[in-house]
Each structure stands twice: as structure tokens, then as C-alpha cells.
């Protein structure tokens, strides 16, 4: 059974288009819970909707790829397959970052 928080995280992650990434912090902020970055990561680690909910497109705020249930190498491979460039273990958020548009 999913919590409301988990469902909200999955709904936001599902919006991230191919070739873009969002951050755990960005999802937490979009949920108006800026201190919930770790909880976002934990929810994505248990993602029952993969690959429809592309949790591999969520990375750390500093551009590092971060963890992945199937391993970091697999996450990097999936992101590269979508056209993202990873340089020294980081993704350029200015180039590939996705900003959530939250309705007020």
C-alpha cells in the first residue's frame, strides 16, 4: 500500500521528460516539503511503477547521479541512453535540469 507522499513523488517523477533530470531536492520543494529530499529518495527506491515512473531521472542537487535500486552503473547507462552526458560523475543541471511547474 502506497502512502500519499509516495504517490505524490511518483506523480512528479512521471512528469520528467526523456533527456532531462530533476533533483531529489526539487521534488521535495515541489511538494512544499523542502526538508524531505531523503524521503523522496526512499520513496523512489521502492518505485513499483518503473519504468513508467522514471526514477532514474532523479539525481542529487550537486549533479551527481545518486543511488539507484538496480545500481548506479545501470542508472548512468539509462541516462546516457537518453542522451545525457555525464562528466566526471556529474550531470550539468543547467543543460539537462527539469523544473516542475506547480499550479498555485
**Alpha-carbon distance values, 17 to 4, 31, 82, 88 (Å):** 23, 18, 10, 23
For residues 66 and 59, the answer to whether their CB atoms sit within 8 Å is: yes
Is 55 catalytic? The answer is yes
As a whole number of Å, the end-to-end CA separation of the chain is 29
Q: Of the listed 13, 31, 39, 55, which one is catalytic?
A: 55
> Any idea which residues carry the catalytic annotation?
55
Amino acid at each position: 500500500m502506497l502512502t500519499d507522499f509516495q504517490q505524490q513523488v511518483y506523480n512528479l517523477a512521471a512528469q520528467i521528460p526523456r533527456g532531462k533530470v530533476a533533483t531529489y531536492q526539487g521534488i521535495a520543494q515541489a511538494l512544499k516539503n523542502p526538508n524531505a529530499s531523503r524521503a523522496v529518495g526512499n520513496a523512489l527506491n521502492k518505485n513499483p511503477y518503473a519504468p513508467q515512473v522514471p526514477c532514474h531521472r532523479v539525481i542529487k542537487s550537486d549533479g551527481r547521479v545518486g543511488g539507484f535500486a538496480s545500481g548506479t552503473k545501470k542508472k548512468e547507462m539509462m541516462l546516457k541512453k537518453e542522451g545525457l552526458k555525464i562528466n566526471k560523475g556529474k550531470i550539468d543541471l543547467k543543460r539537462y535540469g527539469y523544473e516542475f511547474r506547480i499550479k498555485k
